Structure 1
């Protein structure tokens, strides 16, 4: 008869310990990956909300051009935009801070191509092309935030009072 030393028990316990360590490592890796996916989703959500805010501001400015001329004629050449995302939506989505601002950058020097767009921003022209930056900044309760800027131009009647940067 063979003398047994109990080696199969020791080998089984070593393999069980190795497989347990592999399982624990896989669980901690999946937890980190879940946090990464959650953060990515949160960042994308606040980015999309900021894009919606900018699109809403552009629509608002198209319907009420007073803010455009307010930015042109103000001393600091800025206009705060009070129109913003629906408050019910922002509260539901966890928005804690929402700021939008229209900054006047000056007159465009573009005079057009060809004969279809020949007006220019000279002193005798009845129209002017105004350049603006539209900034929006949103912050969520989770701490994620987004700050985005659109460049806008508006062609309209020349204002009597304006300053060119």
Structure 2
């Protein structure tokens, strides 16, 4: 014989299924919130990594710019620690600097010393080696920055 719903004794039910379902719902909600927090943090970390990379690339472009700048290797004014600085050069993105993907670079060339061509170098005594310290700093609109340094020399007429 089948029981009908009218014959079920409601007083004997304690609501265990309801409590279990609510506990499971709370656990799933906590997992969802934890996942959202983790993904937000990962997104911030990825954005910071991109900005640092953009700043490094701007500094690298600054070193390339200093090598192509004729004024950076001026051998006529060779005072010790004579520095040539070029700043606020926009690299990447929109040349007006309004693009969020653009960055600025500042580069400098500092004269270090002049030495005569050493014997056996293939250069006669009328030539000299001019040593320069090159540096470039790239920065982005978000505040990320990176600096690179390099050394270079130029062979020119001796004094």
Normalized against structure 2, the TM-score is what? 0.75
Q: C-alpha offsets along residues 100-159 of structure 1, whole Å, 9 cap, x if unaligned?
A: 2111122468847xx5x344xxxx82112221111122322211112221211112211x
Give 2:142's aligned residue.
142
Q: Secondary structure of 2:74's partner? A: helix
Quote how far apart the aligned CAs of 1:84 are: 4.4
Larger Rg: 2
Distance 1:11 1:22, change over 3 A: same
More strand by share: 2
Normalized against structure 1, the TM-score is what? 0.73
Quote how far apart the aligned CAs of 1:55 are: 0.5
Aligned CA-pair RMSD: 3.1
Which among 99, 114, 121 is matched to residue 106 of structure 2?
99
Give structure 1 stretches of 5+ with no counterpart.
161-165
Give 1:79's aligned residue.
84
Give structure 2 stretches of 5+ with no counterpart.
1-7
CA distance in 2, matches of 1:66, 1:147: 18
Distance 1:65 1:126, change over 3 A: farther
Which among 61, 68, 76 is matched to residue 59 of structure 1?
68
More helix by share: 1
Give 1:163's aligned residue.
none
Give 1:153's aligned residue.
153
